[in-house]
Amino acid sequence: MAYRSFSHFIEQLERTGELIRIAEPVATELEITELADRQMKSPGGGKALLFEKPTIEGRVSRFPLAINAMGSERRMARAIGVESVDEIAHQMQLILKAKPPTSFREGWALMGQGFDLLHARPRRVPDGPCKEIIHRFGNEGSLSLRDLPVLHCWPGDGGRFITLPHVYTRDPDTGERNVGMYRMQVFDGRTTGMHWQVHKVGARHGKRYYERNERMPVAVCLGGDPAYTFAATAPLPDGLDEVLFAGFVRKRSVELVRCETCDIEVPADVDFVLEGYVQPGELREEGPFGDHTGYYTAIDPYPVFHLTALTCRKGAIYPATIVGIPPMEDFYIGRASVRIFLPIFKMNFPEIVDMALPAEGVFHNLVFVSIRKQYPYQAYKVMHGLWGMGQMMFSKYIVVVDADCDVHNTSEVLFRLCANTDPQRDSTFIKNPSDSLDHAPSRPNIGSHMGFDATKKLPGEGYDRVWPDLVKMDEGVQIKMAAVARKLGL
Ligand SMILES: Cc1cc2nc3c(=O)[nH]c(=O)nc-3n(C[C@H](O)[C@H](O)[C@H](O)COP(=O)(O)O)c2cc1C
Ligand SMILES: [Mn+2]
């Protein structure tokens, strides 16, 4: 099911008891973070919160603020219109199975055909609700970024940050669109930072504009169908359009309108559009920011976004999230991506049974993969494959276990890791790009990664003893005693 607007989604959350409405004024400076963090840290991710009167330096904002709207398994699934994220994963698998592709790219191309079948290609429309109110800069009384209830999230933050932006850019050579979620520090009413990290597609587009010495049109959307928000975070291969992906996920074509002051198309039904540009070469210090890693990321130079117009719909709701010590809302967003893209990983590595990125690892720090192992060193083949695939390149520790281990049970994986490895024989170090946010490597953006083969060792792997069996009860006895236990009230 597709949502007509972000507020439509919020209404649905409220109707199903997934949202708490807060009528009293609460400060965008630290206070909203504290209340949201309590929800995010409570079992299963707590509730979504709708602050009707967020305050900005003591003034009540003219826009309400919603936070933690995708911060549970159920809300994340509802955000993309399903009861369980696995429904989308299943559809993905059906598309991939229609005609077995032979490469990652071909798999995506095939998905593109699937989009067609599902009428998910975007449609151009002349106008839309996102333009109900238009503020061009320079006009008297126009809205500015200072009117949005942008959070100052943590005490050590360098300022206010827009935390759920969908950043639309275009490849100047091919015209291909990209949408990524890159946080934006508000410097003043009409300029922000643009935190696209060096490995991200926005940064690649920016570099091309810089080389061509051309001003780069950029549009930033907030709100709308939460499928757009999800698509902006999804680790799609460079060149695969997030708008197509959003259309596929929500099973409805995304309607696009052209911006008023820049040559970019955006979904017609988002809550806010920040239109503007990045002047390649212009950098400004951004940060610090209490980040996904649970630590503050340092001040660093990043491009600057200049606003030329701000448009919004009537009744717009400002969407926000906070990041910090896990688990946070982003865990559920990332987890949905892993579920949905698992069929693609399996297509490339048919031995993969399941994969999990536990919350403690904050996305890429820790990856658990279970495989059906057939030949020696297969675990290493899988690790190296993953390290070569898109944003999986950042995976700091990969632990490979056998198919009968539940990768979603961290304690079971740690048990296998400890029991089944000889540390020197069963580990490998590699060099790879590191996540820009990772403060541990000696230099930014590069580092070492480590893989553990915690699978049962095969004869060809230098192990010439007899591998023991796991201690397990006989199934017949289990069934019989389960009945006895019930009778005895055990
Ligand atoms: C809440 C949230 C905030 C994020 N902030 C940033 C950010 O500031 N910079 C960045 O490069 N990636 C950030 N990401 C990750 C990117 O959105 C993600 O890697 C995405 O796949 C990038 O898209 P792209 O491959 O089209 O560049 C964030 C993700 C989430 C969920
Ligand atoms: Mn992308």
Residue 32's pLDDT band (cuts 50, 70, 90):
very high
pLDDT in tens, 184-233: 999 999 999 999 999 999 999 999 999 999 999 999 999 999 999 999 99
Atom of ligand 1 minimally distant from the CA of 391:
19
183, 321, 332: residue to mutate for ligand 1 pocket, most atoms within 8 A of CB: 183
Residues forming the active site: 291
Residue 100's pLDDT is 58
Residue 486 has pLDDT above 80, yes or no: yes
Alpha carbon of 228 to ligand 1 centroid (Å): 13
| Ligand 1 contact via 206 beta carbon (within 6 Å) | no
Alpha carbon of 251 to ligand 2 centroid (Å): 20
Residue 22's pLDDT is 98
User: Span 130-137, mean pLDDT?
Assistant: 91
Residues in the chain: 490
User: Minimum-distance ligand to the CA of 238?
Assistant: 2
207, 233, 297: residue to mutate for ligand 1 pocket, most atoms within 8 A of CB: 233
Alpha carbon of 122 to ligand 2 centroid (Å): 16
| Ligand 1 contact via 51 beta carbon (within 6 Å) | no
Residue 30's pLDDT band (cuts 50, 70, 90):
very high
Residue 305's pLDDT band (cuts 50, 70, 90):
very high
Count other Cβ atoms within 10 Å, centred on residue 122. Answer: 19
Residue 136's pLDDT is 86
pLDDT in tens, 421-431: 999 999 999 99
Distance in angstroms (rounded) separating the CA atoms of residues 266 and 302: 24
Residue 102's pLDDT is 65
Strands 216-222 and 272-286: antiparallel
Residue 112's pLDDT is 63
| Ligand 1 contact via 331 beta carbon (within 6 Å) | no
Alpha carbon of 237 to ligand 2 centroid (Å): 6
pLDDT in tens, 306-325: 999 999 999 999 999 999 99
First to last CA, the chain: 44
Residue 465's pLDDT band (cuts 50, 70, 90):
very high
Alpha carbon of 255 to ligand 1 centroid (Å): 23
| Ligand 1 contact via 5 beta carbon (within 6 Å) | no
| Ligand 1 contact via 337 beta carbon (within 6 Å) | no
Count other Cβ atoms within 10 Å, centred on residue 383. Answer: 25
User: Minimum-distance ligand to the CA of 71?
Assistant: 1
Residue 116's pLDDT is 53
Residue 70 has pLDDT above 70, yes or no: yes
In this structure, which residue's CA is closest to atom 6 in ligand 1? 182
Per-chain mean pLDDT for the chain: 95
pLDDT in tens, 242-258: 999 999 999 999 999 99
Residue 395 has pLDDT above 70, yes or no: yes
- pTM here? 0.95
Residue 475's pLDDT is 97
Residue 64's pLDDT band (cuts 50, 70, 90):
very high
Residue 439 has pLDDT above 80, yes or no: yes
> For 27, how many CA atoms within 13 A lie in the half-sphere containing its CB?
10
pLDDT in tens, 85-126: 999 999 888 877 766 566 677 767 666 666 555 667 899 999
Alpha carbon of 202 to ligand 2 centroid (Å): 8
Residue 39's pLDDT is 98
| Ligand 1 contact via 313 beta carbon (within 6 Å) | no
Distance in angstroms (rounded) separating the CA atoms of residues 66 and 330: 15
| Ligand 1 contact via 201 beta carbon (within 6 Å) | yes
User: Span 253-264, mean pLDDT?
Assistant: 97
Higher per-residue confidence, 363 vs 34: 34
Residue 471 has pLDDT above 60, yes or no: yes
Residue 99's pLDDT is 61
